[in-house]
Structure 1
Amino acid sequence: MPLRPIVSSVGSIMYNSAKYLAKVMSPLVGKTNHHIKNSKHFAGIKDKTVNEDEIFVSNDVSALFTSVPVGKTLTVIKDKLSTDTTLSQRTPLSADRVTRLLELCLKCTYFVYDGQYYLQIHGAAMGSPVSPIVCNLYTEHFESLALSTAPTLRVGGSVLWTTLIPSKQLRQYVNEFTDHINSIDPDIKFTIEKEDNGTLAFLDTNTVRLIDGHLKTTVFRKPTHTDQYLDFNSAHPEEHKLGVIRTLHQRAEVVTSDPTDLKAEIKHVNKALNVYNYPRWAVNKVKKHLLKRKDQSRRKTSDRKDSKGSVT
């Protein structure tokens, strides 16, 4: 049974250094045209249309954190730091020293299992604060290399990769492109998932192709999902329980693009919460808070537009 060790690094010898590096390096992430911040950002795909003879495909890295090659990653990050003109505003350390400290963080992942000490010798630790940034930076570099060297595809656009080839040949080239990205780095391997009946899961969303070529998004749940949540009668702080409601309702609002689907999703969420004894007052309290935040956000957006359009 293959296992990936997920070990909390809180209190470990390199934890504070990793937190510091995460703040120093985070501005480097997201500089590509295809960067997706979160599910809300991705849900913007609903504004796009697809042709009848085009297909949806997603590629996913297998075991990304534990597969990232540390040596290559350090070289990529050092190059980015060396050309970052704002680095001195975030740290007094040079690019060389930041890279050296990062190397110590990535190569000092010790943990104990069954009384035996182990050292992770490949990839980034899944419990380190700096690992997500390290993986993002390497995959952005990988993506740029993959798209620039693809032998049969020209890829462009934003939010998603758009294949600029004859649509009749698309299915053949999809497999070719997957083979191509799997040939670039022996440590990084991709799986491929194609749409099923016009639907493809990505992040927390199901992207659905409509008959007219427009898209809609709904909340995605894995087949193993059981709607099991923290019981309201448990001895947890009330804020944790309200957080469960808030998270589920926010996800529904952010991800679900069709009003009818949203109504059904909220009904599903409330039914699941009722099973775990969540009272109506708690749900209403969270809904009122979310509506208030949404109204404040609209006002800020409106104020910004007014200030830009005003003449003094």
Structure 2
Amino acid sequence: MISAAIIGLLLIKFNKNTIIVEISETLPLTVLTWNAINHVRTLHCRTTGILPRHIVQNIKCLTNLLSDDAENNRKNRSYKKVFSNNKKLLEKKFLALKKRKIQSIQIRDEWLCNLTTTQIPTEVKVILSLGPKFGVAPLPVKDIPIKNIVADVENIINLAPITRQNILRAKCTNAITNFVHNSKMTHNFEHYLLTNARRFVKTHDDLVITPADKGNITVILSTEQYEQKMNQLLQDSSVYKQLRRDPTNEFQCKNNKIVKQLKDKGFIDASMARKLTTYKAIPPRIYGLPKVHKADIPLRPIVSTIGSASVELSQFMTQILTEAFSDFHDYTIADSFQFASKINNFILPQGYKLISLDAVSLFTNISLELVIQIIQQEWSRVSQVTTIDISLFIIIIKFLFESSYFVFKGSFISQIFGCAMGSKISPILANIVMSVLLKYCIPLLPFQVPITYQYVDDLLLAIPEDRTATTLAVFNNYDPHIKFTAEEETENGVPFLDTKAIRIKKICHPDFLHNSEEKLLKIFENNGYPRMFLNRCRHSLTSDQVDEVPQIRTSTLVEPATHDKYVSLPLIPPLTGKLTKILKEIENIKIAKYNPLVVGVLFSQTKDRIHTMSRSDVVYRIPCENCESVYVGQTSQCLKRRISIHKSDARLRPDRCALASHSSSLDHHFKFDEVEILCTNSNYNKRSFLEMCFINENENNINKKTDLKNLSVVYSYLLSLDRRPSRQT
């Protein structure tokens, strides 16, 4: 028995409804060390977001963390021994609590596919399995800068009458301030998992974490595996060709020249011309998504054309073709609901079977010659929705094909054949080609085809049981580049879209309705939906609603008399609800919520990063070379172009801005090569507000006082709580 230490400890006893406080002059050392360790481990549970059982059951234990100055080495050794033993015991309890909490999160092993030999910790597996779009409630300052929240709020308040704006600012500021102060010590288990996963990802930078091509599965590859698969994909010389330099400026000039031609000939107005013209284009970037459902798990190439030279012109042409060919697709279905309504209860003829045909890499196998041929044959359709003459129309189509290029690992590669995955115009061209192909091939088959459905590059056909080879031969002979693979029935069914058509309410045949509903409910339960909520949704549908099938609208929608403006707020419970309640008095607005913190922050950046000087829609900061001053500005232009203007103004127009004035009057030079991007935002109002916030927080800025005239003093205290740059997007 360890000797007792003579100490003073405040003990609190609970006697029914009366709290009795008494002083105990003696307390065994074992109790002291147990209380000390228990207090430390309780703090650990608190920061992790785990609630121990005794706290959950509302049993409050109050102890004091005391220190004991041992008078001899024997007591010190005894204390350390007891401390070590109790620490191990409490650590074991903590790990059990954590394990129980992890097991309460419904995940499945098939939600994560690890293709590497690296052992992934269970905690990391849990958070990654939730998928890149899973949202975690953010904490102000730590996860999302306060200035970003205020920028969203200010953007909405500017839509209110001027007489109400300051009142709304005061209310919103009060709500945000109270939330920030009350949530400083708020923690949850998802934050703990996210923090641990971030630490793991940072120390394993040789791993590539990416979503799969289908199935919402998270895939983990090594960097070597990913690059090897991408290089293998890009080595196809019949589709891709290496370029010596970046052709972005060349395609930007060609795009603007075509737009000018459209405007000069009266095919588009000045407003549309401004939209289609660009001076801040960036090169498209390619990345790959693993096809986990295919052998050897190849990558599906995706080209991100956001911000590219021809993206707006491509969208313009897509709208024309979509309208022109709206009634052209005889076999096309819109979605699974329409497919199920058509095929349910269909009686298949005797001796027939279902097969699924899949076009092999359809987008990259659609030739320019085939597209031009179809447009020429169907020009009567196109001419009804546009005044553009056929020669210029084909010139634009050729330009969109020729401008299919991208950057990968700093190398520029041209796609010399086919449509690019990710291009705006590719889906509609693929749909048109498939419709023409079906209209040509179906009549050539030497038998009747009672079922023919098409969704992009997937086909579902009903054919005689011994005619699979004949069908493939007809379809593969349509075009030398477009080839198909066939998948026959297994267990009297064949997959199509996200359903399975089987021979024997919307998607399911009544015979399988109950089992399918239970399976669907189980999927929702595994994704965190409460069973009670699911049952309410399940039984709230009447039989009429279940049998109702969504119809495809082909007529032009009539716009309402009042035009609602959509605005956004970050989803931060419970702050967003309070802000929405305050701002709802503003008329004709609809507030959309977005997740500012998602699991996707853990996923790898597989696209090439945009060079700093090529960024646009940014707030930036430039330091002075001769003093500690800085200049803060914002621009929608390419940053390189904006820097060039600053250099010119410093030499020729000193009154143009504060930077030019400072440089000219003091003969100072700025470090333009060290320009820092503080944040990115495509909304002008938000970007201008963020610029004022950054000017306000930089005490040594040289900006003019007029640059802050629109920054309300109501936000002064709130912005003082956030003195750090925004998280980069």
1:130 is aligned to: 425
1:102 aligns with 2:102: no
2:351/2:465 contact within 8 Å kept:
no
Quick one: structure 1 residues 206 and 154, their matched pair in 2 at CA, closer, same or farther if it must change by over 3 Å? closer
Deviation of 1:138 after TM superposition, in Å, equals 1.2
What is the identity, as a one-letter code, of the residue corresponding to 2:396?
A: L
- Secondary structure of the 2:407 match is strand
1:196 aligns with 2:494: no
Q: Distance in 2 between matches of 1:11 and 1:290?
A: 43
- Write the deviation string for residues 246-285 of structure 1: whole angstroms up to 9, x where unpaired: xxxxxxx531232x63333333333333334334576578
- Write the deviation string for residues 91-133 of structure 1: whole angstroms up to 9, x where unpaired: 3312332232122122212211111111111111111121111
2:343 is aligned to: 45
Q: Distance in 1 between matches of 2:515 and 2:332?
A: 30
- Secondary structure of the 1:49 match is coil
Which of these residues, 484, 504, 507, is aligned with residue 255 of structure 1? Answer: 507
1:277 is aligned to: 528
Q: Distance in 1 between matches of 2:426 and 2:539?
A: 37
Quick one: structure 1 residues 63 and 111, their matched pair in 2 at CA, closer, same or farther if it must change by over 3 Å? same
What is the identity, as a one-letter code, of the residue corresponding to 1:78?
A: Q
Q: TM-score, normalised by structure 2?
A: 0.31
1:20 is aligned to: 316
- Write the deviation string for residues 78-102 of structure 1: whole angstroms up to 9, x where unpaired: 321x212x734x3331233223212
Deviation of 1:290 after TM superposition, in Å, equals 7.5
- Write the deviation string for residues 11-40 of structure 1: whole angstroms up to 9, x where unpaired: 111111111111101131552432222222
2:354/2:461 contact within 8 Å kept:
no
Which of these residues, 279, 299, 305, is aligned with residue 9 of structure 1? Answer: 305
- Write the deviation string for residues 161-195 of structure 1: whole angstroms up to 9, x where unpaired: 565xxxxxx33333112122212212011111111
What is the identity, as a one-letter code, of the residue corresponding to 1:256?
A: C
1:62/1:190 contact within 8 Å kept:
yes
1:186 is aligned to: 480
**Bigger share in helix:** 1
What is the identity, as a one-letter code, of the residue corresponding to 2:372?
A: L
1:59/1:191 contact within 8 Å kept:
yes
**Bigger share in strand:** 2
Q: Distance in 2 between matches of 1:104 and 1:66?
A: 16
Alignment of 1:1-312 (within 5 A): 1=229, 2=233, 3-27=299-323, 28-43=325-340, 44-80=342-378, 82-84=379-381, 87-88=383-384, 90-150=385-445, 152-153=446-447, 155=449, 170-210=464-504, 254-258=506-510, 261-279=512-530, 283=534, 294=545
Q: TM-score, normalised by structure 1?
A: 0.67
Quick one: structure 1 residues 11 and 262, their matched pair in 2 at CA, closer, same or farther if it must change by over 3 Å? farther
Quick one: structure 1 residues 174 and 274, their matched pair in 2 at CA, closer, same or farther if it must change by over 3 Å? closer
Quick one: structure 1 residues 153 and 54, their matched pair in 2 at CA, closer, same or farther if it must change by over 3 Å? closer
Bigger radius of gyration = 2
1:65/1:135 contact within 8 Å kept:
yes
Deviation of 1:147 after TM superposition, in Å, equals 2.6
1:4/1:66 contact within 8 Å kept:
no
- Write the deviation string for residues 121-160 of structure 1: whole angstroms up to 9, x where unpaired: 111111112111101111212222223444x345567657
2:354/2:462 contact within 8 Å kept:
no
Quick one: structure 1 residues 280 and 57, their matched pair in 2 at CA, closer, same or farther if it must change by over 3 Å? closer
- Indicate the percent of aligned positions where both proteins have the same amino acid: 24
Gaps in structure 2 of 5+ consecutive residues? 1-228, 234-298, 454-459, 552-729
Deviation of 1:76 after TM superposition, in Å, equals 0.8
1:33/1:157 contact within 8 Å kept:
no
Q: Distance in 1 between matches of 2:320 and 2:472?
A: 34
Q: Distance in 2 between matches of 1:157 and 1:279?
A: 40
Q: Distance in 1 between matches of 2:336 and 2:493?
A: 16
- Secondary structure of the 1:201 match is strand
- Write the deviation string for residues 34-77 of structure 1: whole angstroms up to 9, x where unpaired: 22222222211113101342211222211111111122112212
1:29/1:137 contact within 8 Å kept:
no
- Secondary structure of the 2:307 match is coil
Quick one: structure 1 residues 272 and 144, their matched pair in 2 at CA, closer, same or farther if it must change by over 3 Å? closer
- Secondary structure of the 1:100 match is helix
1:14/1:105 contact within 8 Å kept:
yes
What is the identity, as a one-letter code, of the residue corresponding to 1:56?
A: L
CA RMSD across the alignment: 3.2
Q: Distance in 1 between matches of 2:462 and 2:300?
A: 33
Gaps in structure 1 of 5+ consecutive residues? 164-169, 211-252, 301-312
1:24/1:87 contact within 8 Å kept:
no
